[in-house]
A and B are shown apart, each in its own frame.
Chain A
Amino acid sequence: EAAVTQSPRNKVAVTGGKVTLSCNQTNNHNNMYWYRQDTGHGLRLIHYSYGAGSTEKGDIPDGYKASRPSQENFSLILELATPSQTSVYFCASGDAGQNQAPLFGEGTRLSVL
């Protein structure tokens, strides 16, 4: 069964600390995405990737880095976390050639204190 798994599911970080959110997909999808969800904003695209070794900026990339070391794994990195990055983060995977809706993980709730 197609799956996108995120870890951790919950994270508390301190301001100025480094945070890494991980995502793993077993769908053999080429494309992967990181979104954040905030009340009143829906989901906003942070970074995405077309395949291993590639990362692209989305609509709100400032303060975030991404890494795609393999087809299956896509990480979101906050080098210097700030309270404004407190949010719920979702990873998704999709196959651009199939016109299929991206499949989302269950989310990571991040609190930066």
Chain B
Amino acid sequence: QQKVQQSPESLIVPEGGMASLNCTFSDRNSQYFWWYRQHSGEGPKALMSIFSNGDKKEGRFTAHLNKASLYVSLHIKDSQPSDSALYFCAVSRQVVGQLTFGSGTRLQVYA
């Protein structure tokens, strides 16, 4: 069964700083990778996807995927207090939607 592990468990960065979140997965047949963000009391919301090896940039967010190393990461540039949330890495093997989630990284951005 797929195992998805995230690190660190929690992360504190200053406003304007860089936040780096890591995720490893166990199934080499994994194809679809998402980062979700969850603010307190809300449901998870998809932040960005990455399907091919390399980097994908969307505004202040950059995702990196290395399937051979079973590794995906998310980097948040110029972090804002509104970025404070729980971030999940989610991986799907074949059927989009049958996601396996990591346990999450709690990010706190202080002003």
- Interface set of A (CB-CB < 8 Å, partner B): 4, 31, 33, 35, 40-45, 48, 58-59, 90, 92, 94, 96, 98-107
Contact = CB atoms under 8 A, between A and B. Distances in A.
Interface in B22-64: 32, 34, 36, 42-46, 49, 51
B49 A41 contact: no
A104 B103 contact: no
Interface stretch (B10-18, B66-74, B75-83, B94-102): B94-102
A31 B97 contact: yes
A42 B97 contact: no
A51 B97 CA distance: 13
A94 B44 contact: no
Contact of A106 (B1, B43, B49, B88): B43
Contacts of A104: 43-45
Interface residues of B, number: 25
B43 A101 contact: no
B103 A40 contact: yes
Contacts of B45: 104
Contacts of A4: 43
Contacts of B21: none
A106 B101 CA distance: 17
A90 B98 CA distance: 14
Contacts of B96: 94, 96, 98-100, 102
Nearest to B43: A104
Contacts of B4: 42
A98 to B, nearest CB: 8
A90 B44 contact: yes
Nearest to B46: A101
Given A90-B44, A94-B96, A104-B45, A44 B101 contact: yes
Nearest to A97: B96
Contacts of B100: 45, 59
B85 to A, nearest CB: 14
Of A42, A45, A105, the most chain B CB neighbours within 10 A belong to A42
